[in-house]
Amino acid sequence: MLKADLAVIGGTGVYRADMLENVKEIDVETRYGKVNLLFGTYHGRKIVFLARHGKRHSVPPHLVNYRANMQALKELEVKKIIATAAVGSLNEKMAPLDFVIIDQFIDFTKTRKSTFFEGRFEGVRHIDVTDPYCPKLRSFLFEKAVELGLKVQQGGCYVCMEGPRFETSAEIKMCKLLGGDLVGMTSVPEVVLAREAGICYATIAMVTNYAAGMAPSVLSHSEVLEITKKLNNDISRLIMTALAEVSLEENCDCC
């Protein structure tokens, strides 16, 4: 079995692993299903790239096989995961084209398999998610983003909705009242499963629009793709820097 040091999970608009060398496509069989990955190297490190929504964005957020994805990364002995996510903003201070290193979530998903701990394979456990996103990895990503001159904010609460539809303006008002800063459809259960697997995990959120009722026009997926395209060069610079420089030591509470 191949082993990898680090993983990148690409969300909407981040589908390719152009930074990797000696790239080959691999399939990892898990008890939850088969996962397709790109395996390569960067600065002498072994890296895997996972397109969350599959090739050509073919899998909607509520049907992503999150457990298979995380189990595959665990079996490859990945130490740290850097994920990307396109998000809408509920916070006027987090504007389109900004990056946010999120630190909390509120979960409004409904139908997803959200844990390994169902009693069958992994037993029954109750994990602590006071700080769901690795604090040390978050700090590192923020520092590197600042060094690169990116417009970035440290900390933000991600509200995860079921999707694939966008939210109503009433739902957005509710999310704001509950303390949400950003809204998306994929961070949960991904972040929870990473913690259950003992892998450090952090998300770089890319703000593509203001949410329903705040945006000046009707939301569309094409609009999201257009903004992520504008951010593509900057997100690639940040990920490449992180992959080259992040410590491979497991020196936090995540594992």
DSSP string for 156-174: -EEEEE--SSPPPHHHHHH
Interval 84-109 mean pLDDT: 96
Q: Which domain holds residue 103?
A: 6-245
- Tell me the pLDDT tens digit for each residue of 84-94: 999 999 999 99
Q: How far apart are CA 47 and CA 19, in angstroms?
A: 10
Q: Please give the pLDDT value at position 14.
A: 60
Q: How many CB atoms lie within 10 A of CB 51?
A: 22
In a domain, 251, yes or no: no
CATH number of the domain where residue 178 is located: 3.40.50.1580
In a domain, 135, yes or no: yes
Q: Please give the pLDDT value at position 62.
A: 96
In a domain, 165, yes or no: yes
In a domain, 254, yes or no: no
Residue, of 218 and 184, whose pLDDT is higher: 184
- Tell me the pLDDT tens digit for each residue of 54-77: 877 889 999 999 999 999 999 999
**In 3-state terms, what secondary structure has residue 122?**
coil
Interval 247-254 mean pLDDT: 87
Confidence band of 35 (pLDDT split at 50, 70, 90) = very high
Confidence band of 82 (pLDDT split at 50, 70, 90) = very high
In a domain, 73, yes or no: yes
Q: Please give the pLDDT value at position 109.
A: 97
Interval 46-51 mean pLDDT: 96
Q: Please give the pLDDT value at position 12.
A: 62
- Tell me the pLDDT tens digit for each residue of 139-152: 999 999 999 999 99
- Check pLDDT > 90 for residue 205: yes
The rounded mean pLDDT for the chain is 92
Residue type, 59: V
Q: Please give the pLDDT value at position 13.
A: 52
Q: Please give the pLDDT value at position 230.
A: 81
CA-CA distances (angstroms) from residue 9 to 52, 85, 91, 160? 6, 9, 25, 17
In a domain, 187, yes or no: yes
| Structural domain total, the chain | 1
In a domain, 253, yes or no: no
CA neighbor of 248 nearest in space, from 196, 191, 199: 199
Confidence band of 96 (pLDDT split at 50, 70, 90) = very high
Tell me the longest C-alpha to C-alpha distance in the chain. Answer: 51
- Check pLDDT > 70 for residue 15: no
Q: Is the dihedral of CA 183, 95, 220, 67 positive or negative?
A: negative
Please check whether residue 192 is in contact with residue 66, taking contact to mean a CB–CB distance below 8 angstroms: no
Q: Please give the pLDDT value at position 16.
A: 59
- Check pLDDT > 80 for residue 165: yes
In a domain, 252, yes or no: no
Q: How far apart are CA 172 and CA 87, in angstroms?
A: 13
